A and B are shown apart, each in its own frame.
Chain A
Amino acid sequence: MIEADGVSANNSEGVDRRWAADIRYMAGVYWDRHGRAQRGAFGFF
């Protein structure tokens, strides 16, 4: 899990833009909608 922010002018407008990002990933075992155990990976943005 990462939460970060910063300012970048490296964009299509060429002006300062403040960005903030909340990025996570999960890899492991989960229950699917039918109650079955599954193994997989998910990203959260």
Chain B
Amino acid sequence: MEDPSLGPFDPAQIQIHDFNPGDLNPPGYPNYFLDGGLFWTMPLDRGYIKVHPGRGDASFAFDHLETQDWINVVNALFRPSGFVPIPATMSVDVAWHGTGERTSVHNADLGFGGNYENATADVQWKAYNDDGYWLDTTGSTEVNLSHAFTCKIRNGAFYP
């Protein structure tokens, strides 16, 4: 999240909030970004997700999930000494609507492949931090959907 009056997007300089769950380890434990592991990812209740295979439609919704505000992506990735993320909660309501445009991708070099379907999407989310800051995307303007798709793939040890 940034202040658009301050100029072009530059997370390192003007980003003012960064809501994500960190990695799967608490501070002081190995850093999964620097060590090549899993970050910005958390286990979820399977009930948050609804998928309609073959139609390309899906939804992902939850309320008041505990997360953290890292202020900017540099803090989120590198955890500078002494930085303490602000406890936060986040609610998300996302719906994918399949367009019927489908493709198969197989990349043996990178070890992944499967079937993809392009989608349009509705995106709403809101976040609160314990310092009293909140933002709700309801009523947003200048909304731009860069990418939206659903897929069923295999990767890593499961590929091919």
Contact = CB atoms under 8 A, between A and B. Distances in A.
Interface of A: 1-13, 15-21, 23, 25, 27, 29, 31, 40-45
Interface in B9-49: 9, 16, 19-21, 40-46, 48-49
Contacts of A11: 133-136
A6 B136 CA distance: 11
Nearest to A27: B49
Range of interface residues on chain B?
35 or more
Interface majority SS (helix, strand, loop, mixed), chain B = strand
A41 B48 contact: yes
Contact of B140 (A2, A19, A41, A43): A19
Contacts of A15: 3
A21 B123 contact: yes
Contacts of A31: 156-157
B121 A2 contact: yes
Contact of B43 (A8, A13, A20, A40): A40
Given A17-B135, A27-B51, A44-B40, A7 B4 contact: yes
Given A11-B135, A21-B125, A42-B41, A4 B2 contact: no
B133 to A, nearest CB: 5
10 closest pairs, A vs B, by CB?
A6-B140, A6-B143, A11-B135, A3-B146, A8-B140, A10-B136, A3-B147, A18-B4, A41-B46, A7-B142
